[in-house]
Amino acid sequence: MTTAPSAIARAGRSAPGQKSAARQKRSWKGPLYALPNLVFVVGLFVLPLLLVLQMSASKWPLLSGNKGWNFPQNYVRAVTHRLFADSVVFTLKYTVLATVLLIGIGLGLGLLVQESSRWKGFLRTSFLLPSALGLASASLLFYVLYSPIAGPFADVMQRLGISFLGTPTTALVSTTFLIVWRYAGFYMLLMLVGLQGIPVDVFESARVDGASRGQVFRYITLPLLRPTLALTTVMCVTGSLLAFEQFYILTKGGPDNSTITVVQLIYLVAFQGQNDLGVAGALSVITLLALVLINVLQLRAFNTGRDE
């Protein structure tokens, strides 16, 4: 598919078509074609979003439904939940760890397989294959792999006295390893796209000027890769802050509730035990606001960096 990147680049340039707007038709058929899209967006996105706002301000047990407004009680109960502070701290810790590793390793793999050759094609396929698996499937796979009974490292770990999921620290590291395995190829791909956007002659002239490999990386590759790094960081932070499956399946939040993420807490409050959709709604709204805030801050940080 030698033509695809350029085709996409071409399409991308003219994308939210302003320059071609003159040739777009005004017709009643336009809205008609967009109608299914509108129905989905309103019915399954806007409406639930409004409903979660209402839920977060209402007494709303799982089984008996809406019992009237009680703002701001749910929010107070959400932030004073005995696991709230722990889950926020743990989620942030996991996010930093996963983001640093995935961006670093994704970039490293991208640089490693940049040129095209048969061997590098094989490497790309190998790195990318885990990303086709579902996160739940991958978590189940590692659940067996990490098992002190059935895993391939069970004997070694027993002799060393280490358990993959037994202590808070090893559980965090083991889960992060699973995530790196599952997502590294995906980030490699995004880095490759960014790397290929850098004109070849920039590298050529730097080499002619006698720049070392390290200097080329530090002063040319990294700065020119900034938009890609910004995009991948925002994606990775968002994904990590919303982590659920990997911990739900691998650790069930254990040991001793040490690996409970914010989304797990929402699920716990809504469906396991407490059955309180009001408090779960309040937690959801808090998560949404925090996510928007964090993304705005990140984008701003990347933008001010660029102006220097």
Partner 1 sequence: MSTLTDTRASTSGARRRRSPFAQAAVRTPYYVFTGGLAILFLFPLVWTSVASVSPRAGTAQASGYGFANYVTLANYQAGIWVYLFNSTFVSLLTVLLTLIVTTLGGYAFARFRFPGKDLLFMGTLAILMVPYATLLIPLYVLLNRVGLQNSLVGVALVLTMFQLPFSTFMMRISFEAVPRELDEAALVDGCSSFSLLWRVLLPAVKPGLITVGLFAFLAAWNDFMAPLILINDSNRMTLPLAVSNLRVQVQGVVDYGATEAGVVILALPCTILFLLLQRHYVRGFMSGALKG
Of these, 79, 92, 111, 123, which contacts partner 1 (CB under 8 A)? 123
Q: Stretches 89-97, 148-156, 162-170, 213-221: which one binds partner 1 (CB under 8 A)? A: 148-156
Of these, 79, 92, 140, 206, which contacts partner 1 (CB under 8 A)? 140
C-alpha span between 113 and 270 (Å, rounded): 45
Q: Is 20 near partner 1 (CB under 8 A)?
A: yes
Q: Which CB, 76 or 136, lies closer to partner 1?
A: 136
Residue with tokens 């695809």: 4
C-alpha span between 15 and 35 (Å, rounded): 21
C-alpha span between 203 and 206 (Å, rounded): 5
Looking at residues 229 to 268 of the shown chain, list those that interact with partner 1 (rule: CB under 8 A): 231, 242, 244-245, 249, 263, 266-267
Of these, 89, 136, 156, 293, which contacts partner 1 (CB under 8 A)? 136
Looking at residues 71 to 100 of the shown chain, list those that interact with partner 1 (rule: CB under 8 A): none
C-alpha span between 141 and 102 (Å, rounded): 20
Q: Is 275 near partner 1 (CB under 8 A)?
A: no
Q: Is 68 near partner 1 (CB under 8 A)?
A: no
Q: Is 152 near partner 1 (CB under 8 A)?
A: yes
The least distance separating partner 1 from the CB of residue 102, rounded to whole angstroms, comes to: 14
67-72 — which CB contacts under 8 Å span 24+ positions?
A: 70/278
The least distance separating partner 1 from the CB of residue 184, rounded to whole angstroms, comes to: 8
Are residues 284 and 52 in contact, defined by beta-carbon separation less than 8 angstroms? yes
Residue with tokens 């790196």: 180
Residue with tokens 């709303």: 60
The least distance separating partner 1 from the CB of residue 175, rounded to whole angstroms, comes to: 14
Residue with tokens 């790397």: 195
Extract the tokens encoding 200.
């070849």
Q: Is 200 near partner 1 (CB under 8 A)?
A: yes
